[in-house]
Amino acid sequence: MKRVLSGIQPSGELHLGNYFGMMSRMIKYQEENELFCFIVNYHAMTSIQDKERLAKNTLNAAMDFIALGLDPDRSTFWIQSDVPQVCESTWLLSNIVNVGVLERATSYKDKLAKGLTANVGLYSYPILMASDILLFGGEIVPVGNDQKQHLEMTRDIAIRFNQTFGEVFIVPEPDIEETTQLVPGIDGQKMSKSYGNTIPIFGLEKNIRKQFMSIVTDSKGINEPKDTNTPLFQLYSLFLDKSERKELKDRFASPGLSYGDLKIELFECFWNRFEPFRKKRDYLASHKDFVLQKLKEGAEKSSTVADRFLNKAREAMGLNYGEINV
């Protein structure tokens, strides 16, 4: 059984892109692997500098994850800032990373292009991500195409550290699911809060229904064949198995299909699929102490692992000076 490690930013309201893009995948991992999963609120500080918003988003993200099926008794689940050893580890690793490596990070360039301030936290983001992985002995790291470069950096950092100071860190392997479908937003672009095109998982029924009814479509009439390369078809396909997707494709190719009726169908499919999750989410919101206790247990378990790797790194780098004979 290998250790799978992944984190999610508490960036706000959870949407279908988060769920189908990463969360559902993480939850499946706990069936056959040792899953280490955490809410990366240190990373979120590069873009959120409102204390109430960050704290609220962090707790909400934890409740969302548990509501959607992550079992804190089967997996190790914690909040990043509850294991501050990762900060010391980041400093240790930063001393073997060349500035040029960070300057080539495409994610850094993309975020600057979107208007984020070029602070040191954003600049050194890949080192903190490497620390997140290496300090907890991550063997497999699921990543999307937008994070591939960061994982390559992590592997390079681990290899360079081990070559310089001796074997300390596990070199992680990526798990890139090439067949993962891009989750489109209601406007056809990638579903993202920055585009304002998301469909939330939790919220008022009328508000979510409105989002589904706002999915962009073309102007084809009811008796014309419809294009499957559209956000409506792609979003609906996420809820279907292979045979059901073929049936939907046939419906798109046949006359008599109404976009409005199809959007109502899709909303009802979504609403029924996530009904058990909404009930559990409501329960967790009214039992905050339970959530906090599970996060505390996860932090304690992950701290034990972090201490082991951090102590090995400190010793390898000469920081455990009391053990040296003079």
Q: For residue range 287-302, what is the model confidence (pLDDT) as tens digits?
A: 999 999 999 999 999 9
pLDDT above 90 for 233: yes
314/296 Cα distance (integer angstroms): 26
More confident residue, 218 or 122: 218
Catalytic residue among 114, 148, 190, 206: 190
Asked if residue 89 lies in contact with residue 310, where contact means CB atoms within 8 angstroms, the answer is yes
Assess whether 152 and 102 both reside in one domain: yes
Assess whether 75 and 177 both reside in one domain: yes
Terminal C-alpha separation, the chain: 43
pLDDT of residue 178: 60
pLDDT tens, residue by residue, 260-290: 999 999 999 999 999 999 999 999 999 999 9
pLDDT above 90 for 325: no
109 counts as catalytic: no
pLDDT above 70 for 320: yes
Assess whether 299 and 235 both reside in one domain: no
pLDDT of residue 64: 95
pLDDT of residue 179: 53
Assess whether 122 and 270 both reside in one domain: no
Is residue 187 in a domain? no
Assess whether 43 and 141 both reside in one domain: yes
pLDDT-above-70 percentage for the chain: 97
Name the band, by pLDDT with cuts 50, 70 and 90, for residue 146: low
Is residue 186 in a domain? no
Assess whether 139 and 246 both reside in one domain: no
pLDDT above 80 for 170: yes
Question: What separation in angstroms does the CA of 39 have from each of 5, 11, 15, 272?
Answer: 12, 10, 16, 27
Assess whether 127 and 65 both reside in one domain: yes
Catalytic residue among 28, 193, 280, 301: 193
Is residue 86 in a domain? yes
Assess whether 27 and 176 both reside in one domain: yes
What is the domain-level CATH number for residue 251?
1.10.240.10
Structure tokens at 57: 């988003």
pLDDT of residue 284: 98
220 counts as catalytic: no
DSSP 23: I
31/175 Cα distance (integer angstroms): 16
Assess whether 121 and 200 both reside in one domain: no
Mean of pLDDT over the chain: 92
Catalytic residue among 111, 249, 280, 312: 111
Is residue 264 in a domain? yes
pLDDT above 70 for 129: yes
pLDDT-above-90 percentage for the chain: 76
Q: In what order do the strands lie in the sheet with 140-142?
A: 76-79, 34-39, 3-8, 140-142, 173-175
Name the band, by pLDDT with cuts 50, 70 and 90, for residue 185: very high
What is the domain-level CATH number for residue 95?
3.40.50.620
Name the band, by pLDDT with cuts 50, 70 and 90, for residue 236: very high
Is residue 229 in a domain? yes
Q: Which domain holds residue 238?
A: 193-278
Assess whether 159 and 242 both reside in one domain: no
- The residue from 244, 259, 278 where one domain ends is 278
Residue 83's SS3 state is: coil
pLDDT above 80 for 182: no
Is residue 254 in a domain? yes
Assess whether 13 and 78 both reside in one domain: yes
Is residue 305 in a domain? yes
Is residue 72 in a domain? yes
pLDDT above 60 for 130: yes
More confident residue, 157 or 150: 157
Assess whether 171 and 197 both reside in one domain: no
Residue 65's SS3 state is: helix
More confident residue, 177 or 90: 90
Question: How many separate domains does the chain show?
Answer: 2
